[in-house]
Amino acid sequence: RMDWGTYLGQQRLSGPARVTLVNSAADDGYPAILPDKSRLLFCSNRDNQQFDIYSVALNSGMLLHEYLSGKSSGQITKETVLCSPSNDKCPSIFGNLLVFASDRPGGFGGFDLYYSRLENNQWSTPVNFGEKINSPGDEYRPIIFSFSKIDGMIFSSNRPGGKGGFDLYAVRIGDLL
């Protein structure tokens, strides 16, 4: 039995359940939910061969698994402010800050990390984190965290000087939060 949303300590979560509301025949991944639980963001190459960031409003009146499993319909929206003609993927949210990876022009290598703020229910124009975080290689899968009074971000990169393949890196970003 799926009891998502009740969490009275009596039920165990079970699954997995298909998230048919947002799944397509293309590649859909990296889900992130806004802190106020109003929207689910994810990336997909559903409209073309490039990845873009999409969102769907969440229905607070339904259990999450019932809504996402398609017992209701929702409007999938391409987040055009966050998207470019290049690949935009791996969205991660912390508070009103969204971080993601993109291989758009003007970066420092393959995929760079960018951030955007949610202000008045609108995303700001994405900003490249710059050369202190981005490298000539690829930076992927950013996760923002707050731990022991440190606000930071962990991400993977295949930058020169690592142990091989993709390695994990951490950086303080408290000035952004």
Could you read off the pLDDT of 19-73 as tens digits, one per residue?
888 889 999 999 999 998 889 999 999 999 999 999 999 877 777 767 777 766 7
Separation between Cα atoms, residue 92 and residue 47, nearest integer Å: 21
Helix (H, G, I), strand (E, B), or coil: what is residue 69?
helix
Is the peptide bond preceding residue 16 cis, with omega within 30 degrees of 0?
A: yes
pTM to 2 decimal places: 0.88
Using the CB atoms, write b or e for 110-138: b if 16+ within 10 Å: bbbbbbbebeeeebbebebbeeebbbebb
Strand 150-157 relative to strand 167-172, pairing = antiparallel
Average model confidence (pLDDT) across the chain: 88
Task: Name the 3-class secondary structure at 71.
Answer: helix
